[in-house]
Structures are given as structure tokens and as C-alpha cells.
Amino acid sequence: MGAAAPESELTTSSKKSRFRVKSGGRLTGSLRVPGDKSISHRSIMLGAIAEGTTRISGFLEGEDSLATLNAFRRMGVEIEGPDRGGLVIHGVGADGLKAPGGPLDLGNSGTSMRLLSGLLSGQGFGVTLSGDASLSGRPMRRVTDPLGLMGASIGTTAAGTAPLEIHGSANLKGIDYRMPVASAQVKSCLLLAGLYAEGETCVREPAITRDHTERMLAGFGYPVRHSADRICVTGGGSLKACNLEVPADISSAAFFLVGAAIAEGSELLLEHVGMNPTRDGVIRILRLMGADIEILDPRDAGGEPVADLLVHAAKLKGIQIPPDLVPLAIDEFPALFIAAACADGETVLTGAEELRVKESDRIQVMADGLAQLGVEAMPTADGMRIRGGPINGGRVDSHGDHRIAMSFAIAGLWARGEILIDDCENVNTSFPGFVDLACGVGLSIEQTWET
């Protein structure tokens, strides 16, 4: 495998980036978006503490996933790659991690911070987890409070935010925890801590959330027990190395699903997309809006369902988004807000207060951006009301949020004029190569940089 890039090259550039998107066009042809970010994170974490050598293909070489990779390198794990999505992880076993000798900088990655807070709570050493300004403003008590119930000792700021000072403990106790809000990150954090806890750790979720951690634990040979609304693990076991294939990320595919649906004359094939039933809400919501999406050749890839998706342009209509689909599409709502802006009638989202504590306040930032482009968008405490219609050209600020930047880029297909999108450098956290891939299937977009 090729040599890994130096850690200094894996952080977001200090330069400012802007997207310039010309109006109109259509999306045609085929493409495969990068690997699933959620699965890429977990493959590193579990491969590192497994016994033996784990081989991964399709790994997302974005800044968030690389932050996780670098963290485990600093804790003594030998990792070859990444080389065109390929990794070889030489696992050190459950108790083989070493103190990193300084804080672990996780950049913009909330997944890295929340999941690592659980996994590292049961280690025999202390460690500090830090991040960039955005990550340092995101709520962490949702994981530190239940971890405290297990006996973990984690210091935060007075606001309950990073940096997190984790004092490793060999005395974690299993708990039966009912999450107040559905969150795959909280669930995964507690299950990873449960690997190091005495007895059984169970998590009860109020609504179904993505289950990549449970699936992957089973793939590494670690028993996971499901009963009713509970997911449980018993501490003290071991993970066995395996081979993993990371499917294309449905969250990245979402931008092109929306783009092909709204741009007249589009016909686009998205290849090898992850179709985990806890993640397919974006497809189900778009179909309710009238989108023409065919699911072709469903199959299995390393324990995760995948399929090819063929999208034709269609006339969309506004809907009341079903509450049970909200947790299954939580990361895709910036793109879905663009679909709503292009639909006939009104689209109403409720029950999505989680969007206010992502990389940005995605409800307010999307509402502000849509208003800048002449779209009637009214934010609410837990969602948004959007009246579909024309989208004008204009200038919007992504507030450094990768999904917002890419969503407004896709809006250019429907817009009447050119759209300028500021603060786009963080797109590389989840979708390296977005501009080139988008250009290749018909979006007229260019990226500029300034110091």
C-alpha cells in the first residue's frame, strides 16, 4: 500500500473555498460516490482493537475518517494505507492501545469524538479529545452523562463541550440506559464502552437509529443481543479480525438523488449505494414526494445491504414528512430541503431538533440560505416549513458545513441564476472529489480558493 499522508496534510486547509454554480443543466451518466463515513469510522475503531489483521476496501479518505485513523495510529496501531480506499489494520486486541502522549485532535468529526469517548473510557490511560471550533461547540453531555453512570470520569467545559478529558477506568459497570433522544452516536458510544464494562450494557432507543455498530460488532465475532427495543453487549469479550467492504455513502448519494430528481431530462445511475434499512429514509421521503428512483440489483457487501439506484427527473410535490422517517434521514435533510424548495406546494418537517446541533444549526442556516435565494422557508424549533417555487441566483454562506455547501450546489440545477456558496472547504470532511464528480455528470460547478 502507498505511504500515508503526513498528519499535517489531513486537516482542513487554512484557505477559504467558494463554490460557483451556474444555473440549469441536468445530471446524466453513472457514478460511485465515496465510501460510507459512518462505516469507515467504525471499521478503524473495531479493526484496531481486534485480534489479527483486518483488511478494508472502500474506506472514505475524507478528513473526518482520517482523523479517526490518525488517532489510532497515535495510540500505537499499525495501519497501512489508505491506498485507493484500501487499508490494512494490524489489530492490537482489546487491551493493546497505548497512551498517545498528547491530545487527540479530531478536527470536525463529531462521530470520532462521541464514539471514542466510549471506547477510551475503559482504557488503562487518560487522554484528551479536542477538535476545531465547530466541534468544540457541539453538545457532549449526551455521551458524558451516561458514561458517568457507568463509572467513567470525563471532564468537559462548563457548557458540556470539548475538549473532553478522559480518565481511563478499569472499573466500568454495565448499565441499562434509555436514550431520551434517538441517536446512533450515543448508542454506539455506550456499546463500545460496554465492551470494557463488567456485566451487560443495554441501550434502549425511542426510535430506530442506524445500526452499523451492531452489524460490525457481529462481523468481528462479538455477540450482540437484541430484545424488543434494547441492544445489549456483555463486557470482556474479544473481536476477531475480518475483511470489510465499505459501501458508497447514501448521505453523499443524497445530493445526486435530489439533483437528478429536480433537473429536467436527468437520468443518473448511482452505483453500490449502502441501503441499510436504518439509513434509507432519504429514498423513502423522496419517493413520497414523487421522485422516480429505481432500486436495482440489491445485494450484500460485508454484512451491509447495497444496491444501484437509477434516478429520472420527476415532478415533486410537497409533503408532511412522516415522523418515523426523520431519524432514518437525519443527515440528508439539507439536501431534502432543496428538494422541498423545488416541489409543488408546502413541505413540513417536525421532530428534527437534532439538526440544530450538527456541524451548524442546519435548520437556521438552510432557512437563511433559502431565503437569500427567494425561497419561502420558515424555521421552527424542531424543523421547517418550505413553500416550493422558483429559486433565484444569489450568494449563501454554508457556515463551514459540508452538507449545506453541497446542498446549495445542487440547487443550481433548478436556479434561475448563478449561486455563490461561501466557506466550502469542509466538504473534504465527508466527500473528497465532490466537485470533479459533480462536473462529470453535468453540474456546472467550479471551486475557487483564497488565503
Question: What's the pLDDT at 320?
Answer: 98
Question: What's the pLDDT at 229?
Answer: 82
Q: Are the beta carbons of 7 and 413 closer than 8 angstroms? A: no
Q: Are the beta carbons of 444 and 25 closer than 8 angstroms? A: yes
Question: What's the pLDDT at 207?
Answer: 87
Is it the case that residue 3 has pLDDT exceeding 60? no
- Rounded mean pLDDT, 393-409: 97
- Rounded mean pLDDT, 130-146: 95
Question: What's the pLDDT at 227?
Answer: 85
Q: For the structural domain made of 37-244, what CATH number should be given?
A: 3.65.10.10
Q: Which of 259, 308, 191 is nearest to 438 (CA)?
A: 259
pTM: 0.88
Task: Confirm whether 7-35+247-450 and 37-244 share one CATH topology.
Answer: yes
Is it the case that residue 140 has pLDDT exceeding 50? yes
Question: What's the pLDDT at 168?
Answer: 87
Mean pLDDT of the chain: 94
Q: Does domain 7-35+247-450 have CATH number 3.65.10.10?
A: yes
Q: Measured between alpha carbons, how far is 354 from 339 in angstroms, rounded to an integer?
A: 20
Is it the case that residue 37 has pLDDT exceeding 70? yes
Q: In the chain, pLDDT over 70 holds for what percent of residues? A: 97
pLDDT band at 414 (very low <50, low <70, confident <90, very high): very high
3-state secondary structure 372-414: HCCCEEEEECCEEEEECCCCCCEEEECCCCHHHHHHHHHHCCC
Point out the residues that are catalytic: 331
Grid cell listed for 84: 485507493
Is it the case that residue 58 has pLDDT exceeding 50? yes
What are the residue ranges spanned by the domains of the chain?
Answer: 7-35+247-450, 37-244
Summarised one tens digit per residue, pLDDT across range 169-220 is 889 999 999 999 889 999 999 999 999 999 999 999 998 899 999 999 999 9
pLDDT band at 10 (very low <50, low <70, confident <90, very high): very low
The residue with cell 472529489 is: 433
pLDDT band at 104 (very low <50, low <70, confident <90, very high): very high
